[in-house]
Structure 1
Amino acid sequence: MRQKQLFSLLVVCAIGIMLIAIPSRPSEQPFTGFREHRIIAHAMGGIEDMTYTNTKEAFMVNYEKGTRVFEVDLLLSEDDELIARHEWGEFFTNMLRQHNELGEDRYGAVWTAAEFKQAKVDGQYEPLLWEDIVELLVKYPDIYIVTDTKQIDPEEIDRIFAKIVDSAKGRDPKLLERIVPQIYNQPMLKQIKQYYPFDSIIYTLYQSQDSDREVLYFARNNGIAAVTMSESRVNEKLVKSLKRAGIPTYVHTINDKKLVSKYMKKGVYGFYSDFLAGNEVDASR
């Protein structure tokens, strides 16, 4: 009897030692590239009380706060140059306080690249051409640029990505490793890969009609690096399904730490933000 008890005790001890020796799985998969960062600065991030500026000064303010991933809005100018602007129209011109920079007849127009550079945001902040953004990639080798191409007609997408790729290649082909395109529908993936096999691509859902199941299947089977969604699209089941597939989710646009905490409890990994920096998100966990 004692021998049986001793044997059982030895078995239990051996199992315990084996369990201790087996390394525990990390609670979250370690990511590389842009996914090392939980914050993506929305439209280059906010500056003072302003958002959507896409300006050099907004970039600098948020870089100094520790942000390293920057989303930029991209449009084609009247003369077919690629520029960093969210939209055209008189309302937006007034919102960016550019009404003193050009004649009134140009407030609602599609500007040339020269007019765009002339019209300082708030009379002081420098608007960025795509070539300026490429120079930022050269000067700051630790940053990533996430594209938000506001024109999504297939012909316009062709022109935009041809310019993105040609300009970066002309400066240094390795810069393309730090450019992260956002796609808005499934066919766009094949379209942009005609120009370059980007290392990381984000599927953003604000224009997508895909069901959660279609999103998961597409992302998992096409090497999508991350999925971005609005607050209205956040679905805990989808978020956790993507997480199990090794695909992090980001939510836009979040400036409230309480919301960050709420969504992280649902499994959300990161956030597009105007005013939060990466260390603030980590601190809210």
Structure 2
Amino acid sequence: MRNKLLYSLLVVCALGIVLLAIWQRPAEPSFTGFKAHRIIAHAMGGIEDMTYTNTRDAFIANYEKGTRVFEVDLLLSKDDQLIARHEWGQFFTNMLRQQDGISEERSGAVWSAEEFKQAKVDGRYEPLFWDDIVELLAEYPDIYIVTDTKQIKPEEIDSIFAKIVDSTKRKDPNLLERIVPQIYNQPMLGQIKQYYPFDSVIYTLYQSQDSDRQVVNFARSNGIAAVTVSEGRVNEQLVKSLKRAGIPTYVHTINDMKLVSDYKKMGVYGFYSDFLAGDQADSAS
């Protein structure tokens, strides 16, 4: 009888310890806005076998798969128009299979807006101006656009964000609430906020020289919405420190569900991806 009583007491104590541990474990934060989504479509997401297209067609394909947050690469054209393209050069033109849409002597040059629009990706996919992206924001009220400005000199950032804000305000100032700029260094935050006080800003680290401690302190002190890191930069201590500050970590660019699972175990919240879409990251254990 005594042994049974002792056993029962031990079971009750063990159960109490487990329940206490569960109660004390910090709950997974409930995010809103763009952070309600774990997947961000990289360069508007992949389409068929292609990546980095930044096209309307890629947007539609990934929206239909359930994705609602879209990163877009932004460059200034030769005639100072804001366009969705990752880089200039012969190699990139060939990669996007645009050779037939542009003359050979111009394929490696910085294009005008007209050249950009005529050179369809893979001969069929529609390139996007920033104004086209604003139209997508208006047409699809549940999407968010994450900017990846490929020119980062201060004067280039001034020009790009002046165009982003002016163009969007002309269409509908409320659309600015669904634009999420990425910054690449600490001074850039103050620079872009001269043009608009964006609610959500991502600090992406692929060009940053900040230490992990500097990243965490800056993000916490300045209300940074999320921090994005490459696979080469991500580490458990950084992820945990950001999580304690209530800041989710995203990793780029991930197309493998096994990696999603591994990084989620580390504490990573979300992923930039070419081919994962919708709620796929939620299902990874």
TM-score calculated relative to the size of structure 2: 0.92
Shift of 1:26: 6.1
CA contact (8 A) 2:37 2:279 kept: no
CA contact (8 A) 2:260 2:281 kept: yes
Q: Distance in 2 between matches of 1:137 and 1:255?
A: 25
Kindly report which structure 2 residues correspond to 1:172-251, keeping only aligned pairs within 5 A, or say none: 172-251=172-251
Which residue pairs with 2:42 in the alignment?
A: 42
Query: Structure 1 residue 150 and structure 2 residue 150: aligned?
Result: yes
Which residue pairs with 2:6 in the alignment?
A: none
**One-letter amino acid of the structure 1 residue matched with residue 27 of structure 2:** S
Shift of 1:24: 7.3
Structure 2, unmatched stretches of 5+, are 1-11
Q: Distance in 2 between matches of 1:171 and 1:207?
A: 32
Which residue pairs with 1:8 in the alignment?
A: none
**One-letter amino acid of the structure 1 residue matched with residue 242 of structure 2:** L
Q: Distance in 1 between matches of 2:92 and 2:179?
A: 26
1:264 is paired with a residue whose SS is: helix
Q: Distance in 2 between matches of 1:278 and 1:63?
A: 8
**One-letter amino acid of the structure 2 residue matched with residue 95 of structure 1:** M
1:228 is paired with a residue whose SS is: strand
Which residue pairs with 1:4 in the alignment?
A: none
Which residue pairs with 1:137 in the alignment?
A: 137
Q: Distance in 2 between matches of 1:115 and 1:102?
A: 7
Query: Structure 1 residue 101 and structure 2 residue 101: aligned?
Result: yes
**One-letter amino acid of the structure 1 residue matched with residue 147 of structure 2:** T
CA contact (8 A) 2:71 2:147 kept: yes
Q: Distance in 2 between matches of 1:71 and 1:97?
A: 21
Shift of 1:278: 2.9
Q: Distance in 2 between matches of 1:61 and 1:107?
A: 27
The alignment of Structure 1 onto Structure 2 pairs a total of residues equal to 269
Shift of 1:235: 1.0
Which residue pairs with 2:266 in the alignment?
A: 266
- Cα offsets for 1:132-155 (capped at 9, x unmatched): 000000000000000000000000
Q: Distance in 1 between matches of 2:26 and 2:228?
A: 23
CA contact (8 A) 2:226 2:250 kept: yes
CA contact (8 A) 2:250 2:270 kept: yes
Q: Distance in 2 between matches of 1:277 and 1:103?
A: 36
Identity of aligned residues (%): 80
**One-letter amino acid of the structure 1 residue matched with residue 228 of structure 2:** T
**One-letter amino acid of the structure 2 residue matched with residue 196 of structure 1:** Y
Q: Distance in 2 between matches of 1:127 and 1:173?
A: 24
Q: Distance in 1 between matches of 2:249 and 2:139?
A: 29
- Cα offsets for 1:196-228 (capped at 9, x unmatched): 000000000000000000000000000000000
Shift of 1:36: 0.2
Shift of 1:102: 1.0
1:275 is paired with a residue whose SS is: coil
Shift of 1:27: 2.2
**One-letter amino acid of the structure 2 residue matched with residue 247 of structure 1:** I
Q: Distance in 2 between matches of 1:151 and 1:236?
A: 31
Q: Distance in 1 between matches of 2:222 and 2:278?
A: 28
Which residue pairs with 1:57 in the alignment?
A: 57
**One-letter amino acid of the structure 2 residue matched with residue 29 of structure 1:** P
TM-score calculated relative to the size of structure 1: 0.92
1:247 is paired with a residue whose SS is: coil
Which residue pairs with 1:92 in the alignment?
A: 92
Q: Distance in 1 between matches of 2:52 and 2:279?
A: 22
Which residue pairs with 1:7 in the alignment?
A: none
Q: Distance in 2 between matches of 1:166 and 1:237?
A: 40
- Cα offsets for 1:71-115 (capped at 9, x unmatched): 000000000000000000000000000001111011101001111
1:233 is paired with a residue whose SS is: coil
2:279 is paired with a residue whose SS is: helix
CA contact (8 A) 2:228 2:252 kept: yes
Which residue pairs with 2:281 in the alignment?
A: 281
Structure 1, unmatched stretches of 5+, are 1-11
